[in-house]
Amino acid sequence: MRFEHRKNKTDKNRHREGRFVRYMVFVLVCIAFAGVTGCNKEVTVPVYDEEPEPADEVSIFAIVSNIDEVNNKITLKSVAYNTEITVNYNGGADIQDKYGDVLAMSRVELGTVADVVYDANRDKLLSLHISGNEKVQKIEHVSGAEVDILENTVKLNGQIYRMSDNVTAFSENKEIQVNEICSEDQISVWFYNDIVCSVYVELGHGYLRLTDYAGYIGGMVEVGYDVIVPVTEDMLLTVREGEYTLRIAKDDDVGTKNVEVVRNQEIILSLADIAIEPKQMGSVMFQVTPSDADIYIDGKRINAEGAVELTYGKHSILIRANGYESYSADFNVNYAYKVKEYTLTPTDGTTQSTTADKTTANTSSKNGTTQSNSGSTQNGSSETNTTEKSTETATDGNKNKGDTVNKETANKLIISAPSGANVYFDGEYIGIAPISITKVTGSHIITFSQTGYLSKSYSVILSDDGKDTRLSYDALTSIASLID
């Protein structure tokens, strides 16, 4: 009994000692804490809201202008106003096509017009539904678009549409200037109330530079169905991306070659393997009475102030003048140089129409001997059906411009920038910017090229408004900057 009592007493003492130790530890902790925080300072316990801030849902009728799939962000531009927002999105966002079917964000095309709802408090996309509004329309696979940045219009399938003040264009998942769209491109277009609000380039354009083409100068080159132009010195063609069979022809000589055009890249194509030997040429000086008569050689009006270079072989001549009977005939060129004299017959019949050839030098191309002929006479014949080509209409080599008439005006087209770049007008080299040329009406493509920089094309429509047109474009993009 005593042992048990003593044992109970010992247990009670141990219990008291344990409580005392725990109490002292608590006091020491409090003292230490008070020393750190300050004796007179109260400890502030943070208070957290148990309920999150409610969503602030905002609806917007917008154009999808950028999708950043790496950071899960989407940029939207208002259709009606010049405002733009960027919000976050995740897998919980409600994304649908215009038929109400679920759509992955990766399948939403830039330029799409959509009804959007987002949480303004969290900058978070809640829903994006491609618009099914009857006022919203989309046409796809459009070719031959003519953008008039000066009038803020675009011609599509023969019809002219107005562009909205904040119209947006896209190519290769990035925004571009609207006038970077060329007639060779294939595009899709979004409308709201028959006004163009966005354009997406489905198939863009690249550039084709020909080399070893000397024998074809004056002929025609065709690439696909859209590019049909005369062969000129140092030409740079703007061509829709894709694979083509290039066809080049001059007189009876024709050559073909396969080529692949890559978007925004310049391809150099040598024609050495299909080159033709330059034809032997002769110089002809035409002396006509009256001196103001119009002279046509092979249907093309010539300037008879100096000698005319013609290929060896058969040619036709047509001479016309007011108050005189027209004269037409065929003649052969087989000489290095000859003077051909013509006198037209007045309509009153007082003078006979005569021609005279004066050969001042005829050099054989084979044996180097020189022959002299004089006094040969060629009688005139009745006027034949010779076609005239007006200088006010596009030549056969111009690209298809619809029903737009291309004619020279009395005004100038002045291109001031990018300074130092080579300038091509519808593929023909015209010089280095800044440059001024005769203003030609119609739809055109102006291309800039410079060593070490990416080539760039712009569309322009020029009208005969009695004024000079001044154009200035952004600096070209350095290739080195893309590598860096």
Q: Which of 296, 183, 169 is nearest to 240 (CA)?
A: 183
pLDDT band, very low/low/confident/very high, at 278 (cuts 50, 70, 90): low
Q: Using one digit for the tens of pLDDT, what is the confidence trace for 189-203? A: 999 999 999 999 999
Q: What is the 3-state secondary structure (H, E, C) of the chain?
A: CHHHHHHHHHHHHHHHHHHHHHHHHHHHHHHHHHHHHCCCCCCCCCCCCCCCCCCCEEEEEEEEEEEECCCCEEEEEECCCCCEEEEECCCCCEEECCCCCECCHHHCCCCCEEEEEEECCCCEEEEEEECCCCCEEEEEEEECCEEECCCCEEEECCEEEEEEEEEEEEECCEEECHHHCCCCCEEEEEEECCEEEEEEEEECEEEEEEECCHHHCCCEEEECCCEEEECCCCCEEEEECEEEEEEEEECCEEEEEEEEECCCCEEEEECHHHCCCCCCEEEEEEEEECCCCEEEECCEECCCCCCEEEECEEEEEEEECCCECCEEEEEEECCCEEEEEEECCECCCCCCCEEEEEEEEEECCCCCCEECCEEEECCCECCCCCCCCCCCCCCCCCCCCCCCCCCEEEEEEEEEECCCCEEEECCEEEEECCEEEEEECEEEEEEEECCCECCEEEEEEECCCCCCEEEECCCCCEHHHHHC
Token code pair at residue 275? 């080159």
Task: Locate the domains of the chain by residue range.
Answer: 1-43, 57-130, 136-203, 205-270, 281-377, 408-483
Architecture of the domain defined by 136-203: Beta Barrel (2.40)
Q: Is 38 left (phi over 0), alpha (psi -120 to 50) or beta?
A: left
Q: Tell whether the model's pLDDT for residue 422 goes beyond 90.
A: yes
What are the phi and psi torsion angles at 339 (to 5°)? -100, 125
Cα distances from 59 to residues 89, 118, 126, in angstroms, run: 15, 7, 10
pLDDT for the residue 69: 93
Q: What is the pLDDT of residues 329-383, one digit of tens each?
A: 999 999 889 999 999 999 875 555 455 665 444 433 333 333 433 333 333 333 3
Structure tokens at 114: 């959509």
Please count the other Cβ atoms lying within 10 Å of the Cβ belonging to residue 55.
Answer: 14
The tens digit of pLDDT for each residue in 98-156 reads 999 999 999 999 999 999 999 999 999 999 999 999 999 999 999 999 999 889 999 99
Q: Which residues pair with 256 in a beta bridge?
A: 247
**Pairing relation of β-strands 113-119 and 124-130?**
antiparallel
The predicted-structure confidence for 396-415, as pLDDT tens digits, reads as follows 334 444 444 688 999 999 99
Alpha-carbon separation of residue 434 from 211, 410, 420, 431, 459 (angstroms): 26, 20, 7, 9, 18
Task: Give pLDDT, residue 379.
Answer: 38
CATH 2.60.450.10 fits 205-270, yes or no: no
pLDDT in tens, 111-123: 999 999 999 999 9
| Cα–Cα–Cα angle for 303, 305, 308, rounded to 5 degrees | 60
- Reported as a single tens digit per residue, the pLDDT across 232-263 is 989 999 999 999 999 999 877 889 999 999 99
Q: Which CATH architecture has domain 281-377?
A: Sandwich (2.60)
- Whether pLDDT at 302 is above 80: yes
Rounded to two decimals, the pTM is: 0.64
Residue 6 identity:
R
pLDDT above 50: residue 3: no
CATH for 408-483, options being 3.40.50.10490, 2.60.40.1120, 3.40.50.150, 2.40.50.140: 2.60.40.1120
Longest dimension (CA), the chain: 171
Task: Say whether 408-483 and 281-377 share the same fold.
Answer: yes
Count of other CB atoms within 10 angstroms of residue 431: 13
Q: What is the mean pLDDT of residues 464-484?
A: 89
- At the top level of CATH, the class of 57-130 is mainly beta
Compute the distance between CA of residue 358 and CA of residue 356 in angstroms, rounded to an integer.
Answer: 7
Q: Percent of the chain at pLDDT above 90?
A: 61
pLDDT digits (tens, 9 = 90+) for 6-44: 344 445 455 555 566 566 656 565 555 555 444 455 555
Q: Rounded to the nearest 5 degrees, what angle is found at the Cα of 369, between the Cα atoms of 365 and 370? A: 100
